[in-house]
Amino acid sequence: MTLEIVSLLPSLLNTNGDAENARVLLRRAEWAGIDARVSTVERAAELPSEPDLVVIGSGSDASLGEARLRLFDMLDELRRWGTDRVGVLAVGTGWELLSWGIEFASGEQLEGLGVLPGRAVPRVEGRVTGDLVITRKGARLVGFENHERDYVGAEASPLGRVVAGAGNGRGSAQEGVVTGTVIGTHLHGPVLAKNPTLADQMLTTAAERRGIEYQVGSAAVKVDDFAKGARNAVLRSLSLPED
């Protein structure tokens, strides 16, 4: 049995290296003794029949029109994955494309795919760029946010609560959105490299869905120490307690 990991539209949605979250999942699966592969998918015809994990990165606003067209051709699959417990991680504008829609500062709007609740709207304060720390299920996730839109309409299902940074904005003190096994977030990093516990949660669910057990491999220990050091460097810079 091979875990099928899909990286969607990396040619359009990889401005911050977030498509590499797929490689993080691949390596951690291999370190756990699970056979896995990454399929790079740019168009609907290239989709594997049954993916286990899907990663969507972030791109520039100039790429969103074309990215939406290509993702729209995959809409049936995107909706099915959400109901079939396929793990989907969408970052930045890749996440915005899965929402109800995107409103630009110019007044233009781009209809989203409606896979996730909420919509992206212009920030009143302008672009936010900096470190972002959130709490999720008692643990902290650390990353970098760089966005000029807030996210509204998904207050009932956030990824976590903001400790430092803007997150979804508009005074919500929340970051991201989760519906079932589909996650949207502003966290760049790539987020799974800096926060391997989130990667392990996704892999655990994917393995269970396939009827196998996921256990963190011994080869991950050294890498996880590096990730912890990177998180702690951010936490120290924000005068927050280290992990």
Contact 144, 92 (CB under 8 A): no
pLDDT band at 117; cut points 50, 70, 90: very high
Q: What residues are annotated to the active site?
A: 188
Give domain limits for the chain.
3-237
Mean pLDDT of the chain: 97
Query: How sure is the predictor about 13, in pLDDT bands with cuts at 50, 70 and 90?
Result: very high
178: Cα within 13 Å, side-chain hemisphere: 15
Q: Is 1 a residue whose pLDDT tops 90?
A: no
pLDDT at residue 208 tops 90: yes
pLDDT tens digits for 51-107? 999 999 999 999 999 999 999 999 999 999 999 999 999 999 999 999 999 999 999
Task: Pick 243 or 142 by higher pLDDT.
Answer: 142
For residue 107, the model assigns a pLDDT of: 95
The response to whether 127 counts as a known ligand-binding position is yes
The predicted structure's pLDDT at residue 83: 93
Whether residue 9 is predicted with pLDDT greater than 90 in this model: the reply is yes
CATH, range 3-237: 3.40.50.880
Q: pLDDT tens digits, residue range 15-40?
A: 999 999 999 999 999 999 999 999 99
What pLDDT sits at residue 14? 97
Residue with tokens 């987020």: 191
160 has pLDDT over 90: yes
What is the pLDDT, as a whole number, of residue 240?
97
Q: Please say whether the beta carbons of 159 and 193 come within 8 A.
A: no
